[in-house]
Structure 1
């Protein structure tokens, strides 16, 4: 039997060894066994990738929007053609269900690539004009340069697409560091991009936090984009400030889900359970913090518990809603939140390991919580839904906004006026009404407060990867 395969960085259009040739183990979260070894990149390796990206930028920046669009369309075609291979690699690395990864993540990834392919040709700006006598001004929108990017382990393939597609469409070059636990699908992506892009436009360096620190601290990148925890975002912002780099931070969330008394408790519970437990709750927009009105609370809570009991977790080849937590540390973190619950809280279902092997955690519902409780204030990032009873609209909004995060939220009501009123008052980058978690490429995704700044998706996300230059011409010269 062959041992674990060894992955390699992707630099300058081909696979590359690291200078020290050190590796670390990648663990299958389903079996808890090592399935591959990944390179542990250090400063020399990061420098080589960034130099390749800088060299490529000198010519890629001059490519036309039509050329970039065509390349991205062809990349999307190849990803679609090799979709089953992507799903297999992603599932092996994360434990995600095969069927749901194919039906949910592949279409979203393809749609994002194709959206940004189109966006490359429709950049907008003010028309040229004479704003001073004898002078004509116009605006140039240019690529930023070399972009350092860091992606998380919850959606390795999809989050990478949200990073590299707009950057490359805008004429930038990229060095991307995937999460240390999930680099496999990003390296497969690099193979496909290399077939359609000049060498060095897209590079991948694997490694740990020190690898990411080297990427951020290096003088070459003009912009650093990260999707990750608040801790990671704060560290990136601090390091980038030393060199005045632009930052794009999509960080954690603690999405409030406000269920008013006029909502249908059974329908709301079914939709919220799916949005809370999908991907094992490992989503910064997950519907895991419910605030229920006094008249609907008990019926909703009962329905939610039944939904949780009917939710199945298991291996990727079975008919399940979600697979394991990503890694041993995350399993310990999620378990710790539940183990440390205060005496007034009650676990109504779940709250334990779901299988003897693998990092599976059971669908969990917790009630009786107070606004100041740790599990209400902090991101669990697991299949744990909390429920609080509010007294009126003002208290619901105050509790919803009473966390350090500001990424996503939802309002459940049949009262149109209330829906609009509350959506205005919620301090979150996204507010869904009578739904939770649908995303479309045309609309921005990003938060406020400790959830970071900058937008993924949409033309707003595309604009983040460009810079504005004013050019003025004197008519007399």
Structure 2
């Protein structure tokens, strides 16, 4: 079989061109000519290769972004004119929705149905929302004690370094790029090394929408490129989504040049099922909360806390439901759980299950499906709260289940990890719902539901889940700075 035939087999017949870096409005190879393989996680085969950027490439990208910020047409545009470009981008993304969904599914292994509905829906919404919100950027006059005219201006920060992970490439890049551009910044985007394909296509479409040269630059590559971006003195802010461990290192490195940072990090989110909940709704929410995106979701509901009176009922229902979740080819519209995004993610899940903590109710093993990186949806019960599987982010389709007796105990258990990204609860008691939501240490709390997200609804971390907020006007504010101006009149 020829190399071209091998790639056609790996991609279901689609042709994915080799990727280059996008710097200053031009496509180029890495300065040293290095390249990286992009693997299809559903079958372990090569999709294509992309340029492997390094320090010299990051320097070039930051220089292009700096020039676009200071000397190009971008700073001369009004906020509403920038918003018009983002709205045109949203329309273009809608036109190319199926193409992008196929590419996202191919690159990450996520089921095509969810790529179409969730990933592309949210991506388009980010540009539409911030395209409209751009026109609201304005300062204010202030009344002060001294005679004179005082006012504030809201101004962009400068060059933004956006570093994004492998699990939601489009959503997590556009949740940074859209507000950064709306605010008037320029961007250097370093996508995850394993899933860079939609970042490159996005750059093409944003250019087609009217983004001037150098406003968005894309440097594909590994940790070296990311570190160079964080340490670069020409970068004003780092917007990062990824692990807490990496985020901590970024915060320390960014401090050396006093960069702004937004860090959306790990999570170990709890769902609470009270005795008065609708068990059917709660089970559906619990299963979706831990298998969605094959558990590779920082806001996944990976800890389930269940009132002891319904504990065994819930365990039985979970075992039945998890057994029948469709696992398989991500390009099959019926698939709910696809492969892990890469071999290292699959092996990480296996390391946690090898600890032997708790009782395996269902799952607990790799699945042999066409050479891909598949793991069975897994439920663990009878765990101590200090167990590593309870306290640490596994980032795979693994749910831990623990009983509780009182509302106070449920809240204590929910708040017992160092994370605080998301939480949820199920109850028919409205007063209890609001009372418990107020006590949960999490940036977003869902009641009788899970993972309801919107471009207008901010989220972010408490504790080791990071700081800053994405989505909503709060995210736009994070890409702006305030300048005060005073003119004496006497």
TM bucket, shorter chain: over 0.9
Give matches, 1:109-120, under 5 Å: 109-120=123-134
1:332 aligns with: 347
Which of 288, 293, 299 in structure 2 is aligned with 1:274? 288
Q: Are the aligned partners of 1:56 and 1:200 in contact in 2 as well (CA < 8 Å)?
A: yes
Alignment-derived partner of residue 443 in structure 2: 429
Q: In the aligned structure 1, how far is the partner of 2:185 from the partner of 2:298?
A: 27
Q: Deviations over 1:314-368 (max 9, x none)?
A: 11222111210011110000111111123xx100111111224210111111100
**Contact kept in structure 2, 1:265 and 1:303, CA below 8 Å:** no
Give 1:100 deviation, angstroms.
Answer: 2.1
- Output the aligned Cα RMSD: 1.2
Post-superposition offset of 1:135: 2.2
Q: Give a deviation string over 1:400-457, Cα, whole Å, max 9, x none.
A: 1110111000011111111111111111111111111110111101111111011111
1:6 aligns with 2:18: yes
State the alpha-carbon separation in 2 of the partners of residues 155 and 55 from structure 1. 30
Q: CA deviation at 1:246?
A: 0.5
| Whole-angstrom CA distance in 1 between matches of 2:119 and 2:36 | 27
Residue matched to 2:12: none
Equivalent position of 1:79 in the other structure: 93
Aligned position for 1:321: 336
Whole-Å separation in 2 of the counterparts to 1:473 and 1:48: 40
Q: Which residue of 30, 37, 43 corresponds with 1:31? A: 43
**2:10 equivalent in structure 1:** none
- Shift of residue 2, structure 1, vs aligned partner: 4.4
* 1:81-118 C-alpha deviation (Å, 9 max, x unpaired): 11111112111111122222112221111111100001
From 235, 240, 264, give the equivalent of 1:250: 264
Q: 2:471 is matched with which residue: 437, 457, 463? A: 457
Q: Does 1:128 align with 2:141?
A: yes
Question: Per-residue displacement from partner, 1:125-145 (whole Å, max 9, x unpaired)?
Answer: 5x3133122122111110010
Deviation at 1:16, TM superposition (A): 1.3
Equivalences for residues 152-171 of structure 1 within 5 A: 152-171=165-184
CA contact (8 A) 1:177 1:204 kept: yes
Counterparts of 1:387 and 1:380, CA distance in 2: 14
Deviations 1:155-187 (A, max 9, x none): 001111101000001100000000000000000
Gaps of 5+ in 2: 8-16
Q: How many residues align?
A: 473
Q: Which moved more, 1:82-91 or 1:49-58?
A: 82-91
CA distance in 1, matches of 2:144, 2:356: 63
Q: What residue is the counterpart of 2:434 in the other structure?
A: 420
Aligned partners of 1:279 and 1:322 also within 8 Å: yes
Assess if the C-alpha contact under 8 Å between 1:18 and 1:41 holds in 2: yes
Partner of 2:301: 287
1:443 counterpart = 2:457: yes
Match of 2:206 in 1: 193
> CA contact under 8 A between 1:90 and 1:185: conserved in structure 2?
yes
CA distance in 1, matches of 2:32, 2:149: 55
| Partner residue in 2 for 1:62 | 76
SS in 1 for 2:446: strand
Distance 1:375 1:137 in 2: 56
User: Aligned to 1:131, what secondary structure does the other structure show?
Assistant: coil
> Are the aligned partners of 1:62 and 1:171 in contact in 2 as well (CA < 8 Å)?
no
Is 1:341 matched with 2:356?
yes
8 Å contact 1:266–1:300 — kept in the other structure? no
Q: Which among 217, 220, 231 is matched to residue 206 of structure 1?
A: 220
User: Does the 8 Å CA contact 2:328/2:339 hold for their aligned counterparts?
Assistant: yes
Q: 1:137 aligns with which of 150, 174, 179?
A: 150
Residues 1:98 and 2:112 are matched in the alignment: yes
The 1:15–1:123 alpha-carbon spacing in structure 2 relative to 1, beyond 3 Å, is same
Aligned partners of 1:239 and 1:247: how far apart in 2?
11
Moved more, 45-54 or 309-318: 309-318
Asked whether 1:218 is paired with 2:232, we answer yes
Task: Tell me the secondary structure at the aligned position of residue 295 of structure 1.
Answer: helix
Distance 1:133 1:247 in 2: 35
The residue correspondences of 1:172-183 to structure 2 (distance < 5 A) are 172-183=185-196
Match of 1:249, SS?
Answer: strand
Shift, 1:124, TM fit: 5.2
Rounded to whole Å, the distance in 1 between the matches of 2:461 and 2:137 is 23
Q: TM-score, normalised by structure 1?
A: 0.97
Quick one: distance in 1 between partners of 2:384 and 2:75? 53
Q: Which residue of 2 aligns with 1:22?
A: 34
Contact 2:423–2:442, Cα closer than 8 Å, also in 1 = yes
